[in-house]
Amino acid sequence: MKTKHSQTNNLFAPKDDLLINSQFSVKNTVSLYLGDCLDFLNQIPNNSVQLIVTSPPYNLGKEYENKLDITEYVSQQRRVINECIRVLKDKGSICWQVGNYVNNGEIIPLDILLYNCFKDKGLKLRNRIVWHFGHGLHCSNRFSVRYETILWFTKGDDYVFNLDAVRIPQKYPGKKYFKGPNIGKYSCNPNGKNPSDIWDIPNVKNNHVEKTPHPCQFPVALVQWLVLALSNREDIVFDPFLGVGTTAVAGIMNNRKVAGSELVIKYYNVACERIKLAFQGNLRFRIDKPVYKPSGNLSIIKDPFTVSEKKALCK
């Protein structure tokens, strides 16, 4: 899935006036907490957050985490997940982006370990999204890892899903049914197709325009899909493991309120700066590559619909 994002104007306040609050309130545009996420979650009322997007530590002993016994790690994650479920609205979503825990060359997929933390609380898995990227560490005794996963859970069966906000162009917009009751009619949605559950988005490496001092930063484009599809304007988007603020940046750029917590002060400071730049429209971020456009039969490649026809057909 590759598409092109554009930055939107922020609705909340003048461009040079953004207050970053250290205490949570549903009225705040930005609530950022320097400290433990469980302490911050204690401030957040039940059923007040629409979308939670995060990438927790992978228990690899990075500078921002203590490496734990894997059972203790899962127990720690469960405590945070339980609190996240408490603050989530009934129509809300949780997106837990994880990779692998590696121990003496053996990998343990964290999404498998953490699945029951959500399922045991009654949440339903809507997608296991595969984030594919082209670059990373090269392995010598196994194939090099080039993907991570996002577990998208909902609290109930009635949930926000704005498909039209994330549709991507059809490869063959002029294709028609060749048999059946709809023969001769166009076979695709004129507003674009539903993206798949495999997302091809470059990861943040040394030459990436979004690169910060954080060693495991994920790209803005990855979060934008989730923000656009799973929340509405002025909803609250929350990240308990904020890092350098990518989730909050994606929220602010798309007219959401944001909240997050971070333990490491240097990452917290970077997050504050990036959020302010995003609010002002000055943050540098990578726009995804355009969708592949095939060549060949013009009758099926050319988009046959005008803007007014698309609106009429999609009513």
Q: What is the pLDDT of residue 9?
A: 44
- Per-residue pLDDT of 172-209, as tens digits, reads 777 888 888 988 887 788 888 899 999 888 776 666 66
Q: What are phi and psi of 212, to 5 degrees?
A: -125, -175
Q: What is the pLDDT of residue 41?
A: 98
The parts of the chain modelled with pLDDT lower than 50 are: 1-10, 13-14
Q: What is the pLDDT of residue 208?
A: 66
| Among the four given CATH numbers 1.20.1260.10, 2.60.40.10, 3.40.50.300, 3.40.50.150, the one describing domain 20-313 | 3.40.50.150
Q: How many residues are recorded in the chain?
A: 315
Q: What is the pLDDT of residue 295?
A: 65
Q: What is the pLDDT of residue 4?
A: 40
Q: What is the pLDDT of residue 230?
A: 98
Q: What is the pLDDT of residue 8?
A: 41
Q: What is the pLDDT of residue 146?
A: 85
